[in-house]
Amino acid sequence: MPVPIVPYSTALVACTPTIGARRQLVCSGCRNLLLYAPGATSVCCSVCNVVTSVPPSGAQMAQLICGGCHTQLMYVRSANSVQCPCCHTVNLALEENQVAHVNCGNCCMLLMYRRGGRSVKCAVCNFVTSVGV
CA 49, CA 28: separation in Å to the nearest integer? 10
Question: Is residue 29 close enough to count as binding Zn ion by CB under 5 A?
Answer: yes
Residues 36-65 binding Zn ion (CB under 5 A) are 45, 47-48, 50
For residue 79, the one-letter residue type is A
Rg (CA), the chain: 19
CA 24, CA 54: separation in Å to the nearest integer? 9
Contact call for residues 113 and 120 (beta carbons, < 8 A): yes
Residues 82-111 binding Zn ion (CB under 5 A) are 84, 86-87, 89, 104, 106-107, 109
Question: Is residue 69 close enough to count as binding Zn ion by CB under 5 A?
Answer: yes
- Say which DSSP state 64 is in: E
Q: Which is closer to Zn ion, CB of 13 or CB of 86?
A: 86
Question: Is residue 27 close enough to count as binding Zn ion by CB under 5 A?
Answer: yes
Q: Which residues bind Zn ion (CB under 5 A)?
A: 27, 29-30, 32, 45, 47-48, 50, 66, 68-69, 71, 84, 86-87, 89, 104, 106-107, 109, 122, 124-125, 127
